[in-house]
Structure 1
Amino acid sequence: MTIRSTLTVLFDDPFWIGLCERELDGGYEAARIVFGAEPKDYEIYDFVLRHWHELRFSPALPGTAAKPRANPKRMQRQVRRQTMARGVGTKAQKALKLQLEQGRLERKARTRQARDAEKARQFALHQEKKREKHRGH
C-alpha cells in the first residue's frame, strides 16, 4: 500500500487556497482548503498537523498524478498544447468538481425531502381544520 500526499498553496483571487492531493493505491483524490489571507509557513504546518484528518477528499479517480519531467519548459509547452486541444482542467480540478457535484446532488435530495415533508404537514393541518369546521354542525 503506497500513499503519496502533496499540499500546494496558491493564490486563487481573492483568497489563498491549499490544494491537497493524495494517491492511495492507484487512486487519486483531492481536497481544497481556503486560507483567506496569505498563510505563513508555521500556519500551514499547524493546519496539516491538526486538521489533515478532517479534510473531505473527492471520490477516488483512477490513475496517478503525472511525474515531473526533466525539462520544465518542454512540459509547459506540452501542457499549453493539451489545454488548448481538450479544454482547461487539471486532475485536481476535475476531482474537486466531482466532489462539488455530489454535494450539490445530496443537498438537492435533502431539500426535496424537507419540502415534501412540509407539504404533507400542511396538507394534514388543512384536513384537520376541515374536520374541525364540520364537527360543530
Structure 2
Amino acid sequence: MQVNSSSTLTILHDGQFWVGICEHEDGGAYEARRIVFGPHEPTDEVVLAFVCEQWGKLGFGANMRPSLSDDREARETELLKRPTKINPKRMQRTIHREIERRGVSTKAQQAIRDGYEAGKSDRRKQGREERLLAEERRYEFRRQKRKEKKRGH
C-alpha cells in the first residue's frame, strides 16, 4: 500500500498581517495551520528559519481529521487559490484601499477619531451661532444708522 504525503507553505497578506498557511495532506487526511509572520513581509531567511526550526512543531498527524468543516478554514483555502506572486505596487494599492474601506485599525485610534468628529461638529455649531450673532449686530447697526439719518442731525 502506497501512502501519498505532501506539505505546502503559502505566504499571503490578509489585509493586516502577513500569514503563512501550512497545509499537510497524508493519505486523504488534510490539515492546515495558520502562522502570523507580522505586519512586514517576511524575508526568505525568516521563512527558511521557520521551516527548519518550527515545521516539526506544528503537530501535523497528531489529530488527523478533515479540517474543511469550519468556515474560516474554508475561506483560508479559498485564499490559497489566488496567485501568490503579486506586483508590489498593486499590493500597496490594494492594502491602502482596504485600510480606507475598513477605517481606523485600533480602538485608541477610533476613540481619537470619534473625539475629533465630535469636536468638529461642536466647532461647526459654534461657528454657525457666531455668524448669526454677527449678522444680527450688522442688522442692528444698519437699523440704528437709518434711524439717526431720519432725525436730521
Instruction: Name the TM-score, length of structure 1 as normaliser.
Output: 0.43
TM-score by length of 2: 0.39
Does 1 or 2 have the higher relative contact order (CA < 8 Å, sep 6+)?
Answer: 1
Larger radius of gyration: 2
Greater percentage in strand: 1
